[in-house]
Chain A
Amino acid sequence: MSVALDLLSIVAVVAGAFFFLAGTVGLLRFPDTFTRLHALTKADNLGLGLVVLGLLPHVGSALAGLKLIVIWLLVLLSGAVASQLIARATRQRDPDA
């Protein structure tokens, strides 16, 4: 059981790290602001979720696990709102983009 949990943890953390790599590549390589926003907000929040999933088997108590999940939910909520707001601010400033 412990080996299976460790394996799950390793797979999830590696997948999360891959999504952070994808987010960074997207931020550096995509051609304009909106595609970069798309790459960054989705890939990073998914990567953080996978990292949290990978860490869940290692927490000491149910409360600590709940805290990790709540941190992820806060980041999801703020990331979703911030990406919409940044996109709107960019459009207002530069309607042709």
Chain B
Amino acid sequence: MADFLLAASGFVLLMVAVGLARILRGPGDADRMMAAQLLGTGGIAALLLLGAATGEDAVVDVALTLALLAAFASIAFVKAAATASRDDTAAGNGK
């Protein structure tokens, strides 16, 4: 069972790595942010599988921290995007 969980963890991690290609291709900031969000969700799944495979309980705490940080990253992105678009409008450059 441990081998299976380890293999599943590796597969999920591979999917996250492939999804990160979206950061290179863009085209918008939101698309790049989505790849980072995928890293959050997929990273949590990979960590939980890894924790179950190795029997290491502390890994679950790492996954919990990652969940919290991923949420903060998204909120920070949206706040930065909102500020940037307001500055655009104020300067008369807004579409």
A residues touching B (Cβ–Cβ < 8 Å)? 6, 9-10, 13-14, 16-17, 20-21, 23-24, 27-28, 33, 36-37, 40-41, 44-45, 47-48, 51-52, 55, 58-60, 64, 67-68, 71, 74-75, 78-79, 81-82, 85-86, 88-90, 92-96
- Contact indicator per residue, chain B 19-45, by CB within 8 Å of chain A (1) or not (0): 101100000101101110110111011
| A16 to B, closest residue via Cβ | B45
**Pair B28/A58 contact, Cβ less than 8 Å:** no
**Pair A55/B49 contact, Cβ less than 8 Å:** yes
**Pair B38/A92 contact, Cβ less than 8 Å:** no
The interface residues of chain A, by DSSP majority, are classed as helix
A–B pairs, 24, beta carbons within 8 Å = A13-B49, A16-B45, A17-B12, A20-B15, A21-B15, A23-B15, A24-B15, A27-B34, A28-B18, A28-B19, A40-B37, A40-B38, A44-B41, A45-B41, A47-B45, A51-B49, A55-B52, A58-B5, A71-B44, A71-B48, A74-B67, A79-B41, A86-B34, A86-B78
**Pair B78/A75 contact, Cβ less than 8 Å:** no
CA A74 to CA B44, docked complex, whole Å: 11
**Of B15, B38, B63, B77, most A-chain CB atoms within 10 Å:** B15
Q: Inter-chain contact count A-B, CB under 8 Å?
A: 138
Interface size on B, residues (CB 8 A): 44
User: Do A24 and B18 contact each other (CB < 8 Å), given the known contacts A13-B5, A13-B49, A71-B67?
Assistant: yes
CB distance from B83 to the nearest CB of A (A): 10
